[in-house]
Amino acid sequence: MPAYIIGHIAIKNPQQWDAYRAQVGATIAAWGGELVFRGEKIEVFNGEHPQTDTVVARFPDKAAVLGWHASPEYQALIPLRDAGADVTLISYEATA
């Protein structure tokens, strides 16, 4: 079954965030992943959601998403990511 990451993002340093975004795609692709969606929030209809941006990427399976996150290539980008934005990153395995 496919696995996904969903990132909820509040950008705090646009230059650092742009530098991260320029590099992260290659780390995702190396694990068979692909960007599904990247966008900016329009409206929160229910509840609270302080982040302004969201990203979704799909991986072939749970092993790929876990391997990507643990990879030295992605781990090296985490300080840049954290300098550029506050990110909540969640992984999901599709069940249907």
The CATH number linked to 7 is: 3.30.70.100
Task: Give the position of tokens 């979704």.
Answer: 56
Model pLDDT for residues 30-45, shown as the tens digit of each residue: 999 999 999 999 999 9
- The structure's pTM equals 0.91
Domains of the chain: total:
1
Coil, helix or strand for 82? helix
| Domain extent at residue 79 | 3-93
Torsion of CA 1, 69, 27, 87, to 10 degrees: 110
Question: Which residues, 6+ apart, have CB-to-CB distance to 14 below 8 Å?
Answer: 84
| Percent residues over pLDDT 90 in the chain | 97
Q: Which of 63, 56, 54, 17 is nearest to 34 (CA)?
A: 56
Give the model's confidence band at 70: pLDDT under 50 very low, under 70 low, under 90 confident, else very high.
Answer: very high
